[in-house]
A = this chain, B = another copy of it.
């Protein structure tokens, strides 16, 4: 996973919009307009199809995919500051919220599990929140905000009458809620590795722990500022959020804090597992080496004795030259001495606690 963000050349004028990668899917603009009584959902193809904002209804334009020119046109139409526009287009921004004269600009990362539980995708979501209009820009087409749409259709007054403040809450809540399945998946994987390490530690476990550590690092770099940013929104004096909506924002802050807690816990667990792995491998290795060394050590004196009686001193030349070779019980005695030595060493090793 690369963590460095793609950027244009140093020294370019700020607010320059430049396509970094050609868009792979056609862009989609979904326009929703709602009030307590009304709800209109359409797809538009050009920004000028979006009606002017009026205080009567809440407008939400959800852009799926990056089309630099289209976003430039949108920016002009909605009078978005060029610096905010630049950050919308250049993904890889830090999680943050910035106040502009007529709008609040929010950037968050959304993590989600994809392609059969195998990949954790990271996507930048940009929100430009104005009193009567919310613009959300995502990197690609997805059903991420479908549950919010469904609740709009459900028609409860809480969301239909909540204005852009409550809509912002609903979108951010969706993003934060997406964190938990991701963390749960990582947690599950960590538990599996823990079981592997306790049963049979393999180098693969370490590589995977290393990868998990990097993933958690990336998530952590998103989640900490996310919590602070949400807390900032909750405490902001802006009148975008009503007192009732603030209670809901506090709830999202609480969820983000829990996500932070889980990330930190997972990180500590991974560290602890690394230690456990090292200790486990070292224990197994010690076990192997000890047993093998003991086997070798027992046979070494035996082999010496055998070698001794393999010497070719001439018994005929002297009565002191290996007379044992000619004794009646010579061979059995030699075997007995060997057996004694082996048993003695085994007893010695056991007494020292090495077996």
Contacts and interface: CB of A to CB of B under 8 A. Distances in A.
Interface of A: 2-5, 7, 9-14, 81, 83, 93-94, 96, 98, 100, 146-148, 150-151, 154, 156, 158-159, 173-174, 177-178, 180-181, 183-184, 187, 191, 198, 200, 203, 206-207, 210, 213-214, 217-218, 221, 247-248, 250-251, 254, 257-258, 261-262, 265, 268-269, 272-283, 285-286, 288-297, 299-304, 306-315, 317-318, 320-322, 324-332, 334, 352-354
A312 B334 CA distance: 11
Given A14-B173, A311-B312, 12 more contacts: A2-B191, A10-B181, A83-B248, A94-B261, A203-B280, A206-B279, A210-B276, A278-B279, A285-B289, A296-B297, A306-B310, A320-B329
Given A207-B276, A303-B304, A328-B317, A200 B296 contact: no
Contact of A309 (B198, B251, B300, B311): B311
B299 A301 contact: yes
A3 B311 contact: no
Given A277-B279, A328-B318, A210 B4 contact: no
Number of copies of this protein chain within its complex: 5
Given A304-B303, A306-B307, A7 B207 contact: no
Given A213-B272, A307-B306, A313-B309, A262 B3 contact: yes
A12 B13 CA distance: 43
Nearest to A148: B11
Nearest to A313: B331
B283 A203 contact: yes
A344 to B, nearest CB: 12
A331 B322 contact: yes
Contacts of A3: 187, 262, 265
A294 to B, nearest CB: 7
The 3 closest A-B pairs by CB, nearest first: A11-B147, A10-B177, A306-B307
Nearest to A300: B299
Contact of A4 (B151, B180, B327): B180
Contact of A297 (B265, B273, B295, B301): B295
Contact of A14 (B181, B248, B354): B248
Contacts of A159: 13
Contacts of A81: 247
B296 A300 contact: yes
A324 B331 CA distance: 11
30 contacts: A2-B187, A4-B183, A4-B262, A7-B177, A9-B147, A10-B177, A10-B178, A10-B180, A11-B173, A12-B147, A13-B159, A83-B251, A206-B279, A206-B283, A210-B276, A288-B354, A289-B290, A295-B297, A300-B300, A304-B306, A306-B307, A307-B307, A307-B310, A311-B312, A312-B322, A313-B334, A318-B331, A320-B329, A321-B325, A321-B330
A312 to B, nearest CB: 5
